[in-house]
Chains A and B, each alone.
Chain A
Amino acid sequence: MKMTIEPVSAFSSLDVLVAMDEGLFRAEGLDLTMASRESRDTRSTTEGTLTRPVTNQGRLQERGEATMFQG
């Protein structure tokens, strides 16, 4: 089984990074990869406002390039 997720950082996903590095997903039959963002995927949060924020979360999933993202 293969699955791609949006990129993550240690502050919110240390468990995922460790599971990838130590083969814990592979041991469960899951080939997990992390998508990479291109510059076109990234907009600055400074372009947004409190009530109309700009977020990059979910953009790759919307395009079908990732199955999950962390919100």
Chain B
Amino acid sequence: MIVCAALVVPPDSNVYVPQELAHRKVGLDYGNGTAYAGLQMLEGAVPREAISTCAAVIHPGERYAAMLRGEFEATVLQEPWITVAEKAGCRLVSTTFFHGTWVGGADLDPRLYAAFLRGVTQAVHRINADKRRYMRYFKEGWAAADPAVQALTPDDFNLGRIQLREPTPIPEDEARWAWDWMASWGVLNGSFDVTAQINRKVEREAHELAFSGSG
């Protein structure tokens, strides 16, 4: 699935474009995709030395609440809290998308992964055929106890932010770019080694089993 991440400011903020977040505190859930998406959105707008971030909680609803309390001036949210924030008058000053990537152990059985890929692929087709029907899933899990999320209706969601595609092998170029970028921030050390990061044998076998009709 493709994850949507939005850089959000409170309704009374005087920030309208991401450049105006220079030297202003942005709360990020370090170590998670949304945090890195946030850094990339900021880096596309201001010099790196003008980026100011702080650690924020992983729960998007609690992170959103912390922003509204003034603990930081902006944060990065995922759905359904992007929709909640917009309904509350918050502004999205930047939006981006990134891959959610599955990570398996070295002993992952390609037959298991192939069955997983086939199931996911069929789900992608079903959801894309009628996205709004499935918006109720965004009200479950973490969101189940959040009244603002529970007040949403399926029609509230911007379906352009709900993007699904069939699973594909990990593109090596994208993996290398991501590694090099994270290393440039000091999050990772060393050089990218595709053989250490992606088990092409398992990946290839699983995709062949899943999609060649022989699985």
In the complex, how many residues of chain B place their beta carbon closer than 8 angstroms to a beta carbon of chain A?
Answer: 52
Chain A CB within 8 A of B68 CB: no
Chain B residues contacting A25 (CB-CB under 8 Å) are 115-116, 119
Chain A 46-66: CB-based contact to B (< 8 A → 1; otherwise 0): 111111011111100100000
User: Complex Cα distance A68/B140, Å?
Assistant: 21
Chain A CB within 8 A of B132 CB: no
Chain A residues contacting B123 (CB-CB under 8 Å) are 14-16, 18-19, 22, 24
Determine which of B57, B120, B140 lies in contact with A16 in the assembled complex, contact meaning CB atoms within 8 Å: B120
Interface residues, chain B, with chain A CB atoms under 8 Å away: 1, 3-4, 28-33, 35, 53, 55-58, 60, 78-80, 100-105, 108-109, 111-113, 115-116, 118-120, 122-124, 126-127, 134, 137-138, 140-143, 162, 164, 185-187
Interface residues, chain A, with chain B CB atoms under 8 Å away: 1, 3, 7, 9-19, 22, 24-25, 27-30, 32, 44-51, 53-58, 61, 67-71
